[in-house]
Amino acid sequence: MKNTPSVEEQKEILRRMVLTRRLEEMLGDLAKQAKTRGPLHRCDGQEAVGVAACAVLNDDDYVCTSHRGHHVYIGKGMDPRRIVAEIMGRETGYCRGRGGHMLLGDIATGMLGGNAIVGAGIPAATGMALSFQVLKQDRVAMAVFGDGAAQTGICHESMNMAGLWKLPVIFLLENNQYGLTVRQEVQSPVKDLHIRAEGYGMPGVMVDGNDAVAVYRAAAEAAERARRGYGPTLIEAKTYRMEGFSTSDVGGYQPEEEIAQWRERDPIRIAAAALDELIGADEVARIEAAANIEMGAAFEQALADPLPVFETHAPSSAYSEISR
Amino acid sequence: MATPVKVGVAGGEYMESVVVLEWTVKTGDAISAGQHLVTVETAKAATEIEAPCEGFLTAIFAEPGTEVSLTETLGLIGADTADTAYEGDEPATDHAPVADEASLQATTSEAVSAAESLSPPTPGGRTVASPAARRAAAMAGIDISRITPTSPTGRMKLRDLASATIMRAEIPLVPAGGLSANEAGPLKVYLSGTKTGIPVLMLHGFGADAMSWFPIERALARAHPIVRMDLPNHGKSPRRRMTRFADLAREIVDAFDALHLDEVHVLGHSLGGACALALADIRPRKVASLALLAPGGLGPVINGEFAAGLARASRPESLEQWLKLSVADTRLISPEFVGAAMSSRVDPALRAAQAQMANDLFPDGTQGFDLRPALQRVECPMRVIWGKADAVIPWQQALSAPGRAGLHLFEATGHVPQMERPEDVVAILEALFAASGGKQ
Amino acid sequence: MTMMRYAEALNSALREEMQRDPTVFMFGEDIGRYGGVFKVSKGLMEEFGENRVRDTPISEQALTAMAVTAAMSGTRPVLEIMYADFMPLTLDALVNQASVFGYLWEGQVEIPFVLRTQGGGGVGTGAQHAKSLDSFVAHVPGIKVVAPVTPADAKGLLKAAIRDPQPVVFLEHKLLYNMRGEVPDGDDVLVTIGKAKVVKEGTDVSIFATSKMVLEAEQAARELAKDGISAEVIDLRTLRPLDIGAIMASIAKTHHAVVVNEGWTFCGFAAELSASIMDHCFDDLDAPVERVAMPDMAIPYSEPLETAMLPNAAKIAAAARKALA
């Protein structure tokens, strides 16, 4: 049973968090040069949630995330080069350029997938867990969703059924305090959303979402419960969105002092500090440098990759070919 | 009683109105039947309106520059210079053309004028017809404005083509005037398509007419000027005896020369294919490319009964059998199609002239001319297109083409590839035209 | 051949497919212990247990979304939505999930689930329980939509739908459940999705319909025959992907088309049929396509009011006569 991450696991979590941060920063730079397409939803500051939670999952466990899921993509072990290729609309991307940065999916690593309908990842993971239960498989599904998604009706329906049927699912509520521009206290009558778990007959726990080790512990316990047939868990990870809603967002609604406060608690610094004590600062710096180089190379390769060619999709056709 | 001058069928199949360009005669002039009176502009080309009868031009209602509907009266031809009384603009009233009973023209009009007298009012000058009826009429070269709709909606339907007028029409077996003197005058030429580019000259097959290019003419007309000719003894061209193929070839070359075209793409089907090949041989520098659809002249074998039977057929029942022989998919030859085709063959003089022509050109059921040497001489880009189910001329005759010619052989296709494979044929022709841009 | 009711045919299809394939499971409201409001799943929970036949809370939105991802994860779910009127609650899962990921993640996942529902009016169920919302789902790329009328086609298409790698919306009609008919045994019953059936051959006018409207079209054809009009009745069976080849072949023969659908007229499935016919058969048409569908208003309750709303044989026959006039 997993409980506390091993040193090797902590090193890998840090590496993936740095990869994620570098991905976001490089995308931000390209967006400023108008070299990206459509809005990008950066997860700077939330890396610990997606990366550390995915670290407790097996390859054949599934995770569903939201429109802001780059940390989950990297956390579940997807290839940075193919992630960047998809975001840059290349043929070599995970969806051959059909998806874009919000809708990546990869069956091989069990990341299924990004979802840009707020709340849709919650029944998605629940449905996967239902399938695992019907097939009596030792597998777990996890939904990573935000405080905005927690207010949808479909969240209630899903958690109710998951609790009712004791489905092997983890509800990881990544509370970054904002649903687009609206603060959580304007969207919900309660400050702490994990208390809702009681109404669905499942445990609800709260963790510091900027502390990778804390996220890992909570997720590991939830996964263990799910595998033992005890059903779902709701984890509320408090964290913060440091770079606004999206690259098309003019900002101004997140107070400067609030942002500054959370920057002081940057999850990468917290994870690095924890590792400093175990392996020394030089080794930590070496991990971070290697991750930055790896992401730089991923961009270089992906940007050289070919763009896809349009073709119609026969299974979507309105007409059958049978009698023609 | 004066006879109105109208645009009628000359306006074209999808036109509602035309613009008058100029009158070539003036009020008071003596007019002979068939004389060119006025030129009008349609969407496709300028069209000459001919006098429906002889007499004197007694009125001009449509001055140059005015837009008129197809049924509007442009002017009047009176029995004398003062005759301006006419029966209004109501097509329902009887105003059958004043015809000279002795002339061939008159005998042709009997069935048609009976139909004309039934014509309903056409609001705004547009004949309302269903898409299916419009297509069938166009394929057979029928003027739909002559058909009486039986539907209470006033819309002409397929059944109107097949039954009410055409099928019941009494079709004389022999021309009243017999096969008399050879007619004079040029071959009938139709212009359509774009104003610029190398024109495409289309020469139809035996027993057909220029209208028979319908399946591919509209597609080609989008990007090319189109010149269609009625062969002698076909469509609206004069009837005159031609005892051998060389006479026919000479007629085609003369008509071509009269067009004063620098360069053309030539497209010919069946007998028209033989004519096209002859033209390419005689005027090599004028022909940018040559496309032959199941052409004649490349071997002795021909289904002689087909040509003779087609020419003779005086009733829809007999015509249908010969038409069915020309295609692989006989479902194309619907009763409506047959009725429409028959309506363009009601003229006994035309049938008699064609029967004579079949006998002259295909004696004893054999192609009495050999163009294989001419085919070897052609140097312009060339395509030969044939259906492998051709029951009229065997497709194997295509194999006499020189190596530089492109061969296109279609399975399950009969003697009229442009009707059974119109999209394929258009694609082949467009590729040919694109590859042979002509003199720079 | 076995004589059975439409509901029994569906039941036997479900039973056979669940016996054949352990990854098939069913869920929906009242389908387990009670056997379904229309008794389609009668006896199945007893046979297959509560793991594979689940009574659910009233949560159409999440249920449909769960069917999509359960199908991606190794099972073949069959979800029952009690009334077609509740289909709007399922639409995000169909429009924004199943349709999208079937294309975006092509080659990585298949989404083999069946959404069964029933619609249609005629028995006083009122404005929220009598609609036919065929066009809502037939509009969505990547979703197949079938609507059988006979017990044999019901069984054959349901078995085919369960085996299909794509999402299939299976539209039933509440007035068909008690209809009886001969049903082939074994796999002979399978019906190819996307293939129409000529129910009655004719030469004058083609009538295209699905589900219960096929019965009305057949009745209309009998009435027209009394006047010497030969109507061809085509049961499309599948709304999407549409068997346009069968439509073209029939219209090439008759040159007249009447399209029938029990749903609303404007933007309805009949409107799509009409436009598809114009796209593919324009030059074969000898008259405008006649559309027979429901007036564009909510369905009233009282019998004379509801009856006036519904398309029926008389309206279809009148449309055919109008086309042929």
Cβ within 8 Å of residue A65, ≥6 positions away: A50, A72, A73, A111, A113, A114, A115, A121, A143, A144, A145
Instruction: Write down how long chain B is.
Output: 440
Residue A322 lies in a domain: no
Query: Going by beta carbons, is chain B in contact with chain C, meaning 3 or more pairs sit under 8 Å apart?
Result: yes
**CB within 8 Å: B157 and C285:** no
Q: Are B35 and B25 in contact (CB under 8 A)?
A: yes
**Among all chains, which residue has been given the structure tokens 């004398």?**
B80
Residue A316 lies in a domain: no
Q: How many domains does chain A have?
A: 1
Question: Hey, which residues does B156 pair with through a beta bridge?
Answer: B129
pLDDT interval class at B26 (50, 70, 90): confident
Q: Which of C8, C17, C29, C60 is catalytic?
A: C60
Same-domain status, C146 and C253:
no
Distance of alpha carbon A157 from alpha carbon A81, whole angstroms: 37
**Cis, bond preceding B268 (omega within 30 deg of 0):** no
Distance of alpha carbon C284 from alpha carbon C279, whole angstroms: 11
Query: Going by beta carbons, is chain A in contact with chain C, meaning 3 or more pairs sit under 8 Å apart?
Result: yes
Distance of alpha carbon B150 from alpha carbon B148, whole angstroms: 6
**CB within 8 Å: B135 and C283:** yes
* pLDDT value at B215 more than 60: yes
> Which of C 242-261 lie inside 8 A of B, CB atoms?
252, 255
Residue A311 lies in a domain: no
Q: Are B198 and B373 in contact (CB under 8 A)?
A: no
Tokens for C59, please give them: 């949560």
Tokens for A148, please give them: 């905005």
C55 close contact with B: CB closer than 8 A? no
What does the pLDDT read at residue A13? 98
Distance of alpha carbon B426 from alpha carbon C88, whole angstroms: 48
B189-435: CATH topology is Rossmann fold (3.40.50)
Average pLDDT for B287-301: 94
CATH of the domain at A87: 3.40.50.970
pLDDT digit string (tens) for C15-47?
Answer: 999 999 999 999 999 999 999 999 999 999 999
Q: Which of C17, C129, C232, C306 is catalytic?
A: C129
Same-domain status, C15 and C46:
yes
Question: Which chains border A (3 or more CB–CB pairs < 8 Å)?
Answer: C
Q: Which domain holds residue C31?
A: 2-189
* pLDDT value at B124 more than 60: no
**Among all chains, which residue has been given the structure tokens 């840090």?**
A14
Domain boundaries, chain B: 1-98, 189-435
Which of A62, A115, A130 minimises the CB distance to C66?
Answer: A130
Q: Which domain holds residue A189?
A: 7-305
pLDDT interval class at B104 (50, 70, 90): very low
Residue A278 lies in a domain: yes
Q: Are C250 and C232 in contact (CB under 8 A)?
A: yes
Distance of alpha carbon C37 from alpha carbon C129, whole angstroms: 13
Q: How many domains does chain C have?
A: 2
pLDDT digit string (tens) for B152-169?
Answer: 888 888 888 765 444 434
Q: Which amino acid is at C212?
A: K
pTM for the full predicted model = 0.68
Q: Are A108 and A323 in contact (CB under 8 A)?
A: no
Distance of alpha carbon C253 from alpha carbon B278, whole angstroms: 42
Residue A156 lies in a domain: yes
Enter the ipTM: 0.95
In angstroms, how far is CA B42 from the centroid of its own chain?
18
C32 close contact with A: CB closer than 8 A? no
Distance of alpha carbon A236 from alpha carbon A215, whole angstroms: 9
* pLDDT value at B91 more than 70: no
What does the pLDDT read at residue B95? 40
* pLDDT value at A324 more than 80: no
Exposed e or buried b for every residue in A170-188, given b needs 16+ CB within 10 A? bbbbbbbbbbeeeebeeeb
Say if residue A261 is exposed, middle or buried (CB neighbours under 10 Å; 0-12, 13-18, 19+).
exposed
B214 close contact with C: CB closer than 8 A? no
Other C-beta atoms closer than 10 Å to the C-beta of B377 total 12
pLDDT digit string (tens) for A151-184?
Answer: 999 999 999 999 999 999 999 999 999 888 888 8
Which of B133, B153, B158 minimises the CB distance to C325?
Answer: B153
pLDDT interval class at B109 (50, 70, 90): very low
* pLDDT value at C103 more than 80: yes
pLDDT digit string (tens) for A298-312?
Answer: 999 999 999 999 999
**Among all chains, which residue has been given the structure tokens 């990870």?**
A237
Contacting residues of C for B155, CB less than 8 Å apart: 287
* Torsion-angle region of A70 (φ positive above 0: left; ψ -120 to 50: alpha; else: beta): alpha
Residue C250 main-chain phi, psi, to 5 deg: -70, -45
Question: What sign does the CA torsion over B123, B124, B127, B131 have?
Answer: negative
pLDDT digit string (tens) for B127-153?
Answer: 789 998 888 777 666 777 777 788 888
DSSP assignment string, A237-280: EE---TT-S-TT----SS-HHHHHHHHHT-HHHHHHHHHHHHH-
Cβ within 8 Å of residue C19, ≥6 positions away: none
B155 close contact with C: CB closer than 8 A? yes
Distance of alpha carbon A306 from alpha carbon A287, whole angstroms: 31
Considering the segment(s) B1-98 as one domain, its CATH architecture is Beta Barrel (2.40)
Distance of alpha carbon C65 from alpha carbon A158, whole angstroms: 9
CA separation, residue B182 to residues A260, B232, B252 (Å): 105, 11, 17
What does the pLDDT read at residue B243? 82
Instruction: Give me the half-sphere count of Cα atoms (radius 13 Å) on the Cβ side of residue C281.
Output: 26
Other C-beta atoms closer than 10 Å to the C-beta of C269 total 29
**CB within 8 Å: C68 and A127:** yes
**Average pLDDT taken over every residue of chain B:** 80
Residue A213 lies in a domain: yes
Residue A314 lies in a domain: no
Residue A323 lies in a domain: no
Q: Where are the beta strands (DSSP E) in chain A?
A: 62-64, 105-106, 111-112, 141-146, 169-175, 178-179, 182-183, 204-208, 233-238
Distance of alpha carbon A15 from alpha carbon A9, whole angstroms: 10
Same-domain status, C255 and C164:
no
DSSP assignment string, A152-164: SHHHHHHHHHHHH
pLDDT digit string (tens) for A5-48?
Answer: 999 999 999 999 999 999 999 999 999 999 999 999 999 999 99
Give how far C246 is from chain A: nearest CA, Å.
6
**Among all chains, which residue has been given the structure tokens 């043929």?**
A91
pLDDT digit string (tens) for A177-227?
Answer: 988 888 888 899 999 999 999 999 999 999 999 999 999 999 999 999 999
**Average pLDDT taken over every residue of chain C:** 97
SS3 state of residue B153: coil
Give how far C53 is from chain A: nearest CA, Å.
10
Same-domain status, C232 and C155:
no
CATH of the domain at C217: 3.40.50.920
Q: Are A216 and A55 in contact (CB under 8 A)?
A: yes
| Catalytic (active site) residue C60 | yes
Q: Are C284 and C251 in contact (CB under 8 A)?
A: yes
